Structure 1
Amino acid sequence: MNGDSHLRFLDWDLTKSRYNETDALPLMATPGPVLMILALYLLYVLKIGPSLMTKREPYKLKAALVLYNGIQVVGSVYLAQRYFVQLMQQGILPRTCHLDIENERTEILVSIWFYFAAKVTELLDTVFFVMRKKDNQVTFLHLYHHSIMMVGTWAYLKYWPSTTLIFIGFLNSMVHVFMYTYYGLAALGPEVAKYIFWKKYITKIQLIQFVCIIIHYNTAVRYSECPPSNGVATFVACNTVFFLLLFLNFYRQSYNRVNKQCNGISNKEKCVNSIKEE
């Protein structure tokens, strides 16, 4: 057997970005930092945090929660308006491959990076749950959602960036404006939380969001001049459907739990509201 017949392996370089501009953005040069963040996150919320809190009273964290949720609201408003402007300029379903236009590519990549950065900060949601001993809220849905959104957005930006994420980012940021506004106001105490009427609509809005994303993404893949690979398109579609099913199951279980606990209670509306604030 001569030297030219040796086995050849695929040359996978996980540090190589689709566009060189991506590597200049924080945390984007190599997969190491984002994987370290994910590992520390899961280690803390699944092992270290619960262990430290075993013999401790839950922290109130009122000021921290109000500040954190306020920052998330401001950040979500900024992202929503940034993405809205880009959607108006490029179109909701652009046929032109704007990533091929040099003076537009950097702006698109930075916009996607901001979305990734938001996913990193949102990991604190779970950290606060652990510190407040809200163990019932650290579910598979919660952990999977936060983990895959951070890592998935990083990989999307690094290897297969697409303007379709601008639409996804716009919808998600709008949902987060309402969601974090609720959590920020609820952190002020039950005397404020009882007047917040949109808590029961948040999960419904999230479900509508996933349906819109599935429709938009599959349509954009068909019409765009630079669609992602079939593998990426399949993963995004399947993962969004998975999210939809998980949130549907969460909504159904929450609805059944509330109705079961309040069954037979005269003031049912008050009972429902008190359970939803848990």
Structure 2
Amino acid sequence: MSADVGIRFPVWDLSKSQYEETDFLPLMSTPGPVMVILAVYLLYVLKIGPALMVKREPYKLTTVLLLYNAIQVVYSIYLVQKYLRHLLQHGLVPKTCFINQESERNEILFSIWLYFAAKVTELLDTVFFVLRKKDNQITFLHLYHHSIMMIGTWAYLKYWPSDTLVFIGFLNSLVHVFMYTYYGLSALGPRVAKYIFWKKYMTKFQLVQFVCIIIHYIVAVRNSECPPSSGVATFIGTNTAFFLILFLHFYRQSYNRRKTISNENVSATKCNKEL
């Protein structure tokens, strides 16, 4: 019987990058390290951390949170200006396939890696929630967002990098400038937190961000000389739309419910006065 006869399976090499330069970046040579990070993260925030905190008082972590959020704000500002320079130089939806130009490739790969590195450090958000016993903050939306952004960005950089991600990085980093500023000020306590007025607008900004990303990605893919595969394009478009639905649901639950409760309290107060 010929060795050629029989069922053939595709050969998958998950260690092979689209471009060799990617493998020289930290955590990028094989999937192992990033999968270990994700596994340890989920195991700690869902099982180990809560179990360790059962009989402990929540930690305040004021100094740690101020330092962490300050670093995130500075890093996000750095990414915003870096990505903005790239967009101004190459255009919002460039037709030219810059990733195929050796003179541009390393800069694009490193720019995407910086965004990936931010997603790794942001996992600490959940760790701090666990240590502070903010269990109500550890929702499906929160865990899905942090997990998929880290592993998704890694896979994008590893297997199909493109400068179309620069616009996503720009918008998302801009959102994070305001978000981590809010978190940092909130760590100072209720006396400061009550003056921070932009939390509600931050969620609106995130919703606008997702709509802009979907529109930009569709236009960029149609315009580019090197569009991503249909699988990559479908994943990014579908995942962003899923984020939009999840954040819209969060917005409605958080703010419409508060408005309803506030109206009920006002009505109750009026009834009490009449009685």
Amino acid at match of 2:148: I
1:79 and 2:67 are equivalent in the alignment:
no
Q: Which residue of 2 aligns with 1:91?
A: 91
What aligned pairs does 1:193-272 form with structure 2 within 5 A after superposition? Answer: 193-266=193-266
Q: Which residue of 1 aligns with 2:140?
A: 140
Amino acid at match of 2:231: G
Q: Which residue of 2 aligns with 1:25?
A: 25
Write out per-residue CA displacement over residues 104-145 of structure 1, whole angstroms, 9 at most, x where no aligned residue: 000000000000000000000000001100000000000000
- Deviation, 1:38, is 0.2
Write out per-residue CA displacement over residues 46-94 of structure 1, whole angstroms, 9 at most, x where no aligned residue: 0000000111111000000000000000000000000001111111100
Give the Cα separation in 1 of the matches to 2:125 and 2:263.
Answer: 31
- Deviation, 1:195, is 1.5
**Unmatched segments (≥5 aa) in structure 2:** 268-275
Give the Cα separation in 2 of the matches to 1:121 and 1:263.
Answer: 40
Q: Which residue of 2 aligns with 1:272?
A: none
Give the Cα separation in 2 of the matches to 1:127 and 1:53.
Answer: 12
- Deviation, 1:43, is 0.2
User: Equivalent residue of 2:95, what SS?
Assistant: coil
1:7 and 2:25 are equivalent in the alignment:
no
User: Equivalent residue of 1:263, what SS?
Assistant: helix
- Deviation, 1:231, is 0.6
- Deviation, 1:263, is 3.3
Q: Which residue of 1 aligns with 2:16?
A: 16
User: Equivalent residue of 2:265, what SS?
Assistant: coil
Q: Which residue of 2 aligns with 1:172?
A: 172
Give the Cα separation in 1 of the matches to 2:170 and 2:3.
Answer: 54
After superposing the two structures, state which structure 1 stretch, 247-256 or 28-37, moved more. Answer: 247-256
User: Equivalent residue of 2:11, what SS?
Assistant: coil
- Deviation, 1:266, is 4.9
Amino acid at match of 1:21: E
Amino acid at match of 1:199: K
- Deviation, 1:11, is 1.1
Runs of 4+ in 1 over 6 A off after TM superposition: none
Amino acid at match of 1:213: I
Give the Cα separation in 1 of the matches to 2:86 and 2:13.
Answer: 31
Amino acid at match of 1:55: K
Q: Give the share of equivalent positions with the same residue, in percent.
A: 73
Q: Which residue of 1 aligns with 2:42?
A: 42
Amino acid at match of 1:226: C
Give the Cα separation in 1 of the matches to 2:39 and 2:52.
Answer: 18
Amino acid at match of 2:241: V
1:55 and 2:55 are equivalent in the alignment:
yes
How much is the aligned-residue C-alpha RMSD, in angstroms? Answer: 1.4
Amino acid at match of 1:31: P
Q: Which residue of 2 aligns with 1:149?
A: 149
Give the Cα separation in 1 of the matches to 2:123 and 2:224.
Answer: 33
After superposing the two structures, state which structure 1 stretch, 185-194 or 151-160, moved more. Answer: 185-194
How many residues are paired up? 268
Amino acid at match of 1:232: V
Amino acid at match of 2:93: L
User: Equivalent residue of 1:4, what SS?
Assistant: coil
**Unmatched segments (≥5 aa) in structure 1:** 268-278
Write out per-residue CA displacement over residues 133-176 of structure 1, whole angstroms, 9 at most, x where no aligned residue: 00000000000000000000000000010111000000000000
Amino acid at match of 2:18: R
